[in-house]
Amino acid sequence: MSEVELKEGRTVTLCRYCLSEKSLTVNDGFETDEDFHNHLEEEHDLVVRRENETEEQAEARVKQKNPRIGTEECRCPDCRRKREE
């Protein structure tokens, strides 16, 4: 995870998956883990386990909001790599 320190002393997280595809500015950074994890789940089709969640619960929760996961349309880094092979 790439963190960028802002002048004001705040830290934002830059998404490394987005970073590998395009250049980002600090304005693209996420200020909270919650925002960053939502981004990973919605944009990169990854399941991020939250506090007090089992792996199964996390998968069920993310698949409900993002039905693309695990299908042919899945955009997670693993599936994208496999499709390019």
The interface region with Zn ion, picked from 2-10, 29-37, 54-62, 76-84 by CB under 5 A, is 76-84
58 contributes a contact to Zn ion by CB under 5 A: no
76 contributes a contact to Zn ion by CB under 5 A: yes
Residue 62 contacts residue 41 (beta carbons within 8 Å): yes
Measured from the CB of residue 43, what is the shortest distance to Zn ion in angstroms?
Answer: 5
17 contributes a contact to Zn ion by CB under 5 A: yes
Q: How far apart are the first and last CA of the chain?
A: 26
Contacts of 40 (CB under 8 A, 6+ apart): 15, 17, 46, 48
68 contributes a contact to Zn ion by CB under 5 A: no
Nearest to 42 by CA among 17, 25, 10: 17
Binding-site ranges for Zn ion (CB under 5 A): 15, 17-18, 74, 76, 79
